[in-house]
Structure 1
Amino acid sequence: MTQEDRWDFFIAYAAADRTAAEELYDLLTPPFRVFLDHRSLLPGDDWDSRLPAAQRQAAITLVLISASSERAYYQREEVARAVELSRREDGLHRVVPVLLDESAGADELPYGLRLKQAIPVTAGGGLGQVAERLRSTLRHRLALPPDELLRRYEDRTVVERAVRLVPRDGFDPTGQLGLPSRKYVFVGDHEEQRHRTLRQVLSNLWIGDAFEQVDNSNCPWLALTFDLGELNRRKMDLLPATWKAAFRILSDPTRAACFEATDEERALLGRPPRNYYSDDQQAWYSSCTTRERRYTPWGTDYFIREVLGISWLCFTGTGITQGARQSSGLPSRVFFVRNLPLHSIDYQVQDLGVPDDDIVLD
């Protein structure tokens, strides 16, 4: 499943309520990914298979209820599917009725929705206020759960969009992704961190501690997000943040060229495509930090500290932030990318404030 296959909201509506559905769609996007049939289907898509698939891959079904709903055959199917999903997935899929016509009583709602807390449009202040209520009360439900994060790690799910946190005071739009001394910098999977607060993202990705250490992480932060399509993955040389990948970067003459690998190390690296997630990461850590490589003319651990930005030597190096370090964060994937000039990247900036502000990553 790619990032484009996941949806935050799926709007189920009667044809007569298309205008209201479009208005709610516009109010929620961005930052949310909303599936609305005639806005989201591509030319040539088979709607009879694409719509059920999109609804299954959505976190929340919004059901627009009006006097037209009773006669809306396809909407009734979507309501039944939403209720089935909410029951089958133990409440992971949420169903929210949105009452466009508030004259109907609870007994007149479609079967399966009568026990659901509905949002009235008129009494709620209009669709604008409905969208704001959805945004403020349900956002935490849209973040990927821990088991999904682990599944993405185990399945090596492709990173479609990356996120990098940088201190606001150190951000230079004419500069690079990281400090000029860095050859590579750390990023996380945006899909895995979106809808979480700054404090959660910092803890999940170990930014400011294990990676890109700062004196005090209670400072203002910016989130830089950018697409990692096939072209960008090649240009940015996306690699998992493992010790084997770190060794490859540091020893490769076309990358950082910090030291030369021995014949034995080159043999162990193997031929492309290399498995950078191999189970011998501690051996590659040792290869990165042998005495002659650790005690450099520029200081101890210069290569991994300054070239890669690993400031904490207990980094597990498995490509995911779990294991030896005790952390309140969720296991999250981390990656290396080239430290490119910002003008060569199509990126967006979100000001996340300080951790106590509890601003959520879009």
Structure 2
Amino acid sequence: MNIKEYTKKDGTKVYRANVYLGVDSLTGKQVRKVITAKSEKMCNTKISRAINEFEKNGQTVRKVSVDDFKDIAMLWFDSYKLGVKPRTVQIMQTRLNNYVLPALGEYRIDKVNSIILQQIVNQWMINASQPLNGAYHRPKGKGKDFKIYFNIVERIFKHALSLGLVKDNPCVNVIVPKVRLESTEKKVKYLTAEQLKIFFEYIGALPKEKYTNELMTGLCRLLVASGLRIGEAVALSWSDIDFKTGSVSVSKTTLRAVIQSTPKTDKSNRIVLIDSKAVEVLKHWELFQAKYFMSIGKGKQELVFPNRTGGVLDYQTMRPFLIKWLRACQLPQVGFHGFRHSHASLLLNADVPYKEIQERLGHASIKMTMDTYSHLESDNKIKAVERFESIANF
């Protein structure tokens, strides 16, 4: 190894050496590195440092940082997201970013012990126990799912243990507090039959032959007639709609304007019947859509609700129109999901059984349907008392 002296154009001197570090343990190739310094002594120091780092890294230049908890968490997350749906990946990413990594990310993985973890879990519990003061949502950093956050930490340490990066799992000695938390009141936002009439009369009076107006009319009508999730509706193809039977076949959904080949749950695969008015509106939209795309030089579209260029619609871009129209009607801001809730409310007050509503909505269980909508049965409760009074002649 020779250290050579060079004179730069500005007259300053530098010292340079082409150093042989060894054979890379991963690639089997020889590894060389050019070292440059302002003095011969500094050059020798850099050479020694490069050789030591190469040896310390397992005789490879492909360094994988596994010093910090965050490094291990990302290794685990890369494997985790390969076997789950995109929406599940989003949820896990949020939990990592909002809770796990802020608490542990900067720690060296081998320095995390049971005492540190116990303090973190206790703090999560304390944050979750803060008074809600009537709020419908917990603020960021005060989530109630601290047991889930700790479970994520456990899974990351098990992964580190399997890779031989830690000698033991400090999670085994941590006690997760059992505490009864104040529950947020889940306010289901929906429109009544009278409010829906006002809304559809308003959009029916909007200028015709405008793409957004026509699309939103068809989309909102379908949502309230079927109870579909907005992502499910946007993913529909015309082949999924049978106008003769008035049925809609649901088998996929969208996420960030990307169609997912599977819906939210197994129960979400379903066929939903819709009313004749919805069929009529969809037929009109199909005709308008065909004329529109022909006018811009494109043929028949496969998607029921594509964007203006024929691509998958990002329904978030339609939200401002919905907000504007609801405001113009002086109606509650229920969002697109509010049409799904409206559908369920109308069915409940028409005495449709929960089991049928569950199947139409694609809920995983009837318990989910009852937990979500049982408080909307005010009309039915009155009917029940009236029926009782009519037969209680004893």
TM-score norm. by structure 1 comes to 0.31
1 or 2 for the larger relative contact order (CA 8 Å, sep ≥6)?
Answer: 1
Larger relative strand fraction: 1
Which has the greater radius of gyration?
2
Larger relative helix fraction: 2
TM-score norm. by structure 2 comes to 0.29
